[in-house]
Amino acid sequence: MTNRSSLRFMLLILSATFAFLYIPISVLFALSFNASGLPTAWTGFSTHWYGELIANSDIIGAALNTLIVAIVSTLAATLLGTLLAIGVEIRRRKGRVLETVIFAPMIIPDIVLAIALLSFFSMLDFRMGLHTIIISHTVFNLAFVCAVVRARLKSFDWSIVEASTDLGATPPITLRRVILPVLTPAVVAGALLAFTLSIDEFIIAYFTAGSGRDSITLPMQIFSMIRFGVTPEINALAVLVMTLSVVALAISQRLNRGRLPGQ
């Protein structure tokens, strides 16, 4: 096979892969503006279903719960994940066991982590609710924030920390004035990634939520609605969630590509 034929074959495979991934999303996007109540028959362009979303109190309540969970768990995971990444990177030469334990939530299936968290809360006789979802999402997002910040630390010049210490700065001052300013793009990128994962996450929230409507998140609301069939209203809701996730991930990737000062 010639180089030109190989290139054409690779382009064909790549095109087929992108088509498989993005054609369904494109159809979903188009049907969210379908004037008809039928999920597959196009009858004209309309933003009616987005208006229906705003008027749906159940969806608005679930969206607010999702934002609360995402914001609080992101703040907690970002703070703990950043400090954890710095600590692990400093002690990286003392073994890999700690890294394996830290990144376990990224590797094990969501269903296993969800069952483990549910068992943990049940053992402690916790009353399930929005607070248990927040704790669970913090545990889940912690490893992702730590991984993003550690990727930045791989090219961090630790000599500036030594210089700061030699000049009389205490460890908290060194952390605040030397380390964190350099890590800020990675910290923000990790926070945006955690926020996106928290908005989209369903399994862990489903297992650790309470029984009332005050602990229902948006993915759980979508699941309860879709059991009766796919409607344009669900399509519109899916487009909004997807758009928010894509924007957050794009900003995260853009920030994480930043270079360290002096490089």
192 domain-assigned = yes
139 CB contacts (<8 Å, ≥6 apart)? 105, 113, 117
153 domain-assigned = yes
The predicted pLDDT at position 182 comes to: 81
Q: What is the CATH number of the domain that holds 79?
A: 1.10.3720.10
By C-alpha distance, which of 66, 85, 208 is closest to 144?
85
Per-residue pLDDT tens digits for 109-157? 889 999 999 999 989 888 888 999 999 999 999 989 988 888 888 777 7
202 CB contacts (<8 Å, ≥6 apart)? 217, 219, 220, 223
The predicted pLDDT at position 262 comes to: 39
The predicted pLDDT at position 259 comes to: 46
Write the CA distances from 160 to 12, 79, 175, integer angstroms. Answer: 49, 22, 11
69 domain-assigned = yes
What's the DSSP call for residue 91? Answer: T
45 domain-assigned = no
Chain centroid offset of residue 233 CA = 24
Q: What is the residue range of 229's domain?
A: 58-259
| Cα 76 to Cα 220: distance, rounded to the nearest angstrom | 23
In three-state secondary structure terms, 45 is strand
| pTM (two decimals) | 0.78
| Cα 69 to Cα 135: distance, rounded to the nearest angstrom | 9
How many domains does the chain divide into? 1
181 domain-assigned = yes
- Which tokens is 196 given? 């996106």
235 domain-assigned = yes
234 domain-assigned = yes
Mean pLDDT by 10 residues, the chain (263 residues): 75 89 84 74 78 83 91 94 84 63 80 91 88 93 89 78 79 80 85 89 90 83 79 81 80 62 40
**C-beta of residue 63 within 8 angstroms of C-beta of residue 218:** yes
What's the DSSP call for residue 177? Answer: I
Q: Please compute Rg for the chain using Cα positions.
A: 23
215 domain-assigned = yes
